[in-house]
Amino acid sequence: MTLNLGYFQGIESSTTEWKTLSFDRGRGAIEVAVPVLSETQLKSLCTRVKNMSQTYLKTIPVSDLVNIIDTTISSFLDRTNPYRQQAEDLLPRITGYDPEMIRLGLTSYLKTFRKVELNRFLSEDFSNPKILDEFQPLPKGGLGRAYGPDLLFHIWAGNVPGLPIWSLVSGLLVKAGNIGKVSSAEPLMASLFSKLLAEIDPKLGECIAIVWWEGGQNKWEEVLLKQADLVLAYGNNDTLRQIRNRTPITTRCLTYGHKISFGMISRSALDTGKSWTTAHQAAYDIVRYDQQGCYSPQIFFVEEGGAVSPEQFAQFLARELENFENKFPSRSLTIEEASIVASWRQSEELKAFSEEKRAFLADPNGRWSVSYSETAGEIYPSGLNRTIQVFAVGSLREVPSIVKPYKAFLQTVGIAASPEELIQLASQLGAIGVTRISALEHMTTPEAGWHHDGRFNLLDLVTVTEVERTAETAAEAFSDYVD
């Protein structure tokens, strides 16, 4: 039986059209059905979600919301829970990622939404989270209350499993009604999360809907863009531009585009004792979700002058990528993905034998490749799916000027360096647009409350109503207790 994905309340599922999506990534073929609502259905869904957001969600204290989400997440963390089991079974088949990588990845990702971490989310953005519940004194004087949108429209892209949960949780924390459009590449997790949440709090479940339509089908999108108070879109710049252009001028549109992340390895991490560990951690960042995340490294800059040379580091890295084939085997690629990898490999291979001071290390079966260059010229993305560039640099301090031209696309930098170097590099990198610096091995697992692309997850979603001090003072004059 085909599994129905998507999630919504108040519309008979037999009255909607269902589209079958087929996946065959070498881990067992599977078909799932996603709902294609009519424009009318979509409109009534908007009204319903908005309504529930106003009448129910806005009345629940944020601490209660934290508890409900926490309960949902802890069910999801429980490996005997049927939803969790479904995710573990289906995600590898849908995305092609190694089941073990998915299982571990789910746990490490979901635990960033436990109660204590959710409170961290809140306190990252609000010095007093109660401002989401009622008017609170503001430091500047007067009172303020933060309102989340009645309808937040999420447009998700990508096949890094579970990413929609991030923006869905953010929406719920600010008491927004949410309608999310899942991508064809990974329609599962947002649907499962919503279903599980609705089991725990059915009324909260009515504040969410998960829908789908074929990418580029504007008529559905237009319905939502018109109805939404706020739009949160992920995707490539072309897609984002179109979405933004179609969003009414009075509706805010927050966009998260594709990014490039990279690693930096100081000579202090390249002695004969630590270098292997450094390479192992770097390889892990590459292997995890096959570089599909915006935080996944595409380049490593390696400093010369350590006991282990950058070229040797590249060799370590290559070997570690090979070793990871045992732990987290790479997935089979579609012919299109394989073509991208192949064309990147070919061009690196050509450089390796036609230019001096280069080396190309690759698995003969194409599962990973490392392109090493002794000079870091212009940077460019890798072929993804376990293809990485290693550039030698005389000093890590040269790196910011190399990457500076790509300021708009930079995101995470994984650094292995001494505390002094770290601080020094951080200020240089921050200045050229890098928004996140992590340790190696953690590039693909941002901590709870991470400011995605340097933005505020929650604060960006709300508007604040202020009662100025003058109003407060003036009101005093009209009180019963006025002397």
Partner 1 sequence: MNEKQVIDSLTKFIIRHKTREDEFDTLALQIFEYQFNNNLPYQRFCRQRETTPKTVQSWKSIPAVPINAYKSLTLSCCRPEDIKRTFMTSGTTGDELRGKCHHPTLSVYDTSMITAFKARFMPDLKTIRMGILFPTENEMPNSSLAHYLALAYSNFGSDGSQYFITTEGVCLEKLFAELERAEKNSEPYALLGASYSFVHLIDQMEKSNQTIQLPKGSRILDTGGFKGQSRELDLDDFYERLSERFSVPRASCVNMYGMTELSTQFYDNGNQICPSKKSGPHWIRSQVINPATGIPTPKGERGILVHCDLAHFNCVATIQTEDIGIEIDNGFLLLGRAKGAEAKGCSMAVAEFLKIAQG
Partner 2 sequence: MKFNKQIVLVTGSSRGIGAAIAKAFAAEGATVIINYIKNSAAAIETAEKCKELGGSAKIIQADVSSGEQIQKLIDEILQDFSKIDILVNNAFKPYIFDSENRKQFHETSWNDYQEQLDGVLFSSYTLCQTILPIFKKRTKGNIINIASDLVARPTIPYHDYMTAKAALIGFSRNLAMEVGQFGIRVNCVAPGLVYPTDGSMNTKEGLKEMIINQTPLRRIAAPEDVAGPVLFLASSWSGFITGQTLYIDGGLVMR
Binding site for partner 1 (CB under 8 A): 157-160, 163, 183, 185, 234-238, 256, 258-261, 289, 291-294, 296, 298, 333-347, 349-350, 352-354, 360, 364-367, 380-385, 406, 409
Segment near partner 2 (CB under 8 A); pick from 5-13, 318-326, 399-407, 430-438: 318-326
Separation between Cα atoms, residue 216 and residue 205, nearest integer Å: 28
Query: In this complex, which beta carbon is closest to partner 1, that of residue 347 or of residue 418?
Result: 347
- The answer to whether 151 and 179 have CB atoms below 8 angstroms apart is yes
- A 10 A CB-CB count for 464 gives 11
Strands (E) in 325-434, as ranges, are 358-362, 369-373, 387-393, 410-416
| DSSP H or E stretch at residue 76 | helix 62-77
Which residues, 271 to 290, sit near partner 2 by CB under 8 A? Answer: 276
316 binds partner 2 (CB under 8 A): yes
Q: Which does 432 bind (CB under 5 to 8 A by kind): partner 2, partner 1, none?
A: none
- Rounded least distance, CB 88 to partner 1, Å: 20
Q: Which does 482 bind (CB under 5 to 8 A by kind): partner 2, partner 1, none?
A: none
Give the CA angle between residues 180, 181, 186 to the nearest 5°: 110
- The answer to whether 30 and 1 have CB atoms below 8 angstroms apart is no
- Rounded least distance, CB 201 to partner 1, Å: 30
Count Cα atoms within 13 angstroms, Cβ side, for 230: 23
Q: Tokens 């979600």 label which residue? A: 49
315 binds partner 2 (CB under 8 A): yes
Among 103, 115, 246, 319, binds partner 2 (CB under 8 A): 319
Query: In this complex, which beta carbon is closest to partner 2, that of residue 275 or of residue 435?
Result: 275
Q: Which does 315 bind (CB under 5 to 8 A by kind): partner 1, partner 2, none?
A: partner 2
269 binds partner 2 (CB under 8 A): no
Give the CA angle between residues 368, 373, 375 to the nearest 5°: 155
- Rounded least distance, CB 275 to partner 2, Å: 9
374 binds partner 2 (CB under 8 A): no
- Angstrom CA distances, 196 to 22, 85, 86, 114, stand at 24, 13, 12, 15
Separation between Cα atoms, residue 454 and residue 442, nearest integer Å: 17
- Rounded least distance, CB 103 to partner 2, Å: 25
Query: In this complex, which beta carbon is closest to partner 2, that of residue 361 or of residue 376?
Result: 361
Nearest to 435 by CA among 458, 406, 411, 459: 411
Which residues of this chain interact with partner 2, rule CB under 8 A?
276, 312, 315-316, 318-319, 322-323, 359, 361
